[in-house]
Amino acid sequence: MKPFHKKYTVIILLSFLVIGFVLLKVNDFEYLTNFSNQEYFSINVSKESCLNCHIQVKGFSKFHNPESIGCVSCHLGNPNVNTKDESHQNMVLIPGNLADADATCGKCHTDELYKINHSLMTTNSGLIAVDKFIFGESDSLDSLYHIKEIEYSAADKHLRDLCANCHLGAAKKEFGKITQLSRGGGCNACHLNYSKEATTSLETYLNSNKENLPKMHPSTDIFMTNEHCFGCHSRSSRISTNFQGWHETLLEQKDITDKDEYKTFEDGRIYTRKSEDVHHTKGLLCIDCHSSHEVMGDGKTYLHQEKAVKIQCSDCHFDSKPNTTSYKDLDRESKLVWMHRDYKHTDKQILVTAKDNNPLVNTYMEGNNAYLISKKDGELHEIKKQSEICSRDAAHKNVNCSTCHSQWAPKCIGCHSSFDENDKMGYDLLAKKEVIGQWVEHVFEFGTSQPSMGVRFDGDDLKIEPAIPGMVLTIDNQSYSKDTNDLNTFHRLYAPNAPHTIAKKVRDCKSCHANSEAIGYGKGTLVYNTDNSSGNWQFTPEYALNENDNLPEDAWIPFLKEPKAKIVSTRTDFRPFNLKEQRNILLVGACLQCHAEDSKVMQQALIKGLDTMLLKINIACVLPSYH
């Protein structure tokens, strides 16, 4: 028998090392074991005929390279023939739209597709529920809907004309990168990225009458920018523009005088400069806070947006001990993101959200300090803990962080909606076709101010949150129905809001406790008058009273009264301050007329509570007469 050669021993050892490394990686990223049902693993990519013509194409992301998964995994077609027409048969030029995602992206990303299909960004359920409610087509704000199922009632037509563009089911039909004008596109909405080279290559292809085949492919990856969010989230409450520090106006191009103070976005809307969010100032992206668990959804069906949002300010800006998890305990999706981002902090504790324990994989603890790795450029940011005053303030424990830290919020009032049956410029946003006749909105004013406040309630659990006018509008029902008995309807509904205009410095005490807008009365002059031993508040509104309910145009509730309307909010668990709460807020406002907010007595009231301090009241104090 011949002796066993040393070189075979080396080869065997190397083989075991390779196998061991692979097994470790599989164990490390358990999603790799879940590919048994995925078609492209049965494809011999070396025999795909696609590369006979497209052999020079580059630009693919590491995990979507044709050398690994082929071309037909995403684009379909026939990889077993060599003629152009036959190989392109049933090909999907722009894969990822939800209409074909189950045959393209969803073959590998089954869990993700399931979550997306059930997310609010796909269903638009909350948006539809509120719209149908105000049109009188539903008696509930909490019904479940899907945008693809709406038909042609007055409310449905209203949605088709004005709202149905912003949902993930809207198909991307044109080549090119995601822009401010992009809407929907399924998986492309977040994961499609064009490099400069890919953009140039596409332009060359299109300008050559599609003769010069592109040599640079766009990348499909997880490296989202704020531009990916902008198209849809610059509408309605205008989160994306608020975040950047821009507020929409009703100006036209001819009205602009100071170019530095105004900006025209790609859709032609003109914005004026306001203060930007502190997180935007630091260079952070939307996805630095809103993780994949939130953006793609968790597979559950939610009624409204705030129920689907998991991140809270206190998850990062904690007061004492944060919620954390370890790398080894991360879920499959978080480890997938970790691998794509190539994070290294496996030995550190990672912050998780209090709601649902979603890991924030771009954060970690180092001793008692927390850090965030920017998903934009990898820069490391130290996360500041809650300030001492926030953590020891007993009087405001039920106040949402953004109620005090938001610098401003958009406020749209005086909206009138009517149907113009002869409008030849109509466009059905859902069917993607031109139509004659559409709902038209006429807006009185786009304004801004520090946000108003409202009460989120769950039984006896109350939380004070920012509020803005959601729907202060009149609907001309007869213009659509042609029924002379179909009268106009008026609604004064405020909505909970997350302004995304956060600042380190908080609003001062008077801006809540002695401010008519904050409490819900609208803009105007709120004055505390004293006469000997009694005091009273007087409010003079800035806007005229609306003939429908005799309240100022921008108000939410009447001054020191309970609202007469049964429904005053776009949510069933969100309301304005009741009379008792209004009086308590203004009681503090009365104290602030003499006592500075940083005075000893007011600081003690934050810790001990106002009732305790009132037991020590000075004879010189003049409290409101209702107290």
pLDDT in tens, 40-71: 444 567 778 998 889 889 999 999 999 889 99
Residue-number span of the structural domain to which 12 is assigned: 1-34
Q: Name the one residue in this structure whose structure tokens are 């191009």.
A: 253
* Span between the terminal Cα atoms of the chain, in Å: 107
Nearest by Cα to 556 from 575, 583, 581, 573: 575
Q: Are 438 and 161 in contact (CB under 8 A)?
A: yes
Q: Is the pLDDT of residue 25 over 70?
A: no
Which helix H or strand E contains 316, and what residues bound it?
helix 313-316
Same domain? 307 vs 158:
no
Same domain? 383 vs 404:
no
Query: Please, which pLDDT band fits residue 259 given cuts at 50, 70 and 90?
Result: confident
Q: Within a domain: residue 620?
A: no
Same domain? 411 vs 553:
yes
Q: Which of the given ranges, 552-556, 602-606, 615-619, has the highest pLDDT on average?
A: 552-556
Q: Within a domain: residue 347?
A: yes
> Could you report the per-residue pLDDT of 382-414, keeping only the tens digit for each?
999 988 878 778 889 899 999 999 999 999 999
Average predicted confidence (pLDDT) for the chain: 91
Same domain? 307 vs 190:
no
Number of folded domains in the chain?
5
Q: Are 473 and 491 in contact (CB under 8 A)?
A: yes
Same domain? 254 vs 139:
no
The whole model's pTM is what?
Answer: 0.90
Q: Are 93 and 111 in contact (CB under 8 A)?
A: no
Same domain? 326 vs 430:
no
Query: Please, which pLDDT band fits residue 613 given cuts at 50, 70 and 90?
Result: confident
Q: Is the pLDDT of residue 28 over 80?
A: no
**Separation between Cα atoms, residue 128 and residue 304, nearest integer Å:** 10
Task: Report the number of secondary-structure helices (H) and strands (E) in the chain.
Answer: 27, 22
Q: Is the pLDDT of residue 138 over 50?
A: yes
Same domain? 158 vs 301:
no
Angle, CA 9 vertex, CA 8 and CA 11 arms, to 5°: 60
Q: Are 270 and 262 in contact (CB under 8 A)?
A: yes
The total number of residues shown for the chain amounts to 627
Q: Within a domain: residue 53?
A: yes
Query: Please, which pLDDT band fits residue 5 given cuts at 50, 70 and 90?
Result: low
Point out the domain boundary residue: 358, 389, 420.
Answer: 389
Sign of the Cα torsion 457, 458, 461, 466 reads negative
Overall average pLDDT of the 95-105 stretch = 96
Same domain? 136 vs 262:
no
Query: Please, which pLDDT band fits residue 17 given cuts at 50, 70 and 90?
Result: very low
Structure confidence at residue 43 (pLDDT): 55
**What's phi and psi for 578, nearest 5 deg?**
-80, 175
Point out the domain boundary residue: 333, 363, 389.
Answer: 389
Q: Report the 10 Å Cβ neighbour count for 565.
A: 14
Q: Within a domain: residue 501?
A: yes
Q: Within a domain: residue 234?
A: no
Structure confidence at residue 245 (pLDDT): 97
Lowest mean pLDDT among 32-36, 409-413, 458-462: 32-36
Same domain? 297 vs 380:
yes
Same domain? 202 vs 292:
no
Query: Please, which pLDDT band fits residue 609 given cuts at 50, 70 and 90?
Result: confident
Instruction: Give, in order, the Cα–Cα distances in Å from 506 to each of 277, 315, 402, 521.
Output: 13, 19, 9, 22
What are the tokens at 426?
């109509």
Q: Within a domain: residue 621?
A: no
Q: Within a domain: residue 556?
A: yes
Q: Within a domain: residue 298?
A: yes
**Separation between Cα atoms, residue 105 and residue 84, nearest integer Å:** 24
> Could you report the per-residue pLDDT of 101-115, keeping only the tens digit for each?
999 999 999 999 999
Same domain? 292 vs 302:
yes
Nearest by Cα to 406 from 518, 499, 342: 499
Overall average pLDDT of the 144-170 stretch = 96
- In sequence order, the 6+-apart residues with CB closer than 8 A to the CB of 562 are 578, 579
**Separation between Cα atoms, residue 500 and residue 275, nearest integer Å:** 11
Point out the domain boundary residue: 112, 133, 162.
Answer: 162
Same domain? 17 vs 111:
no
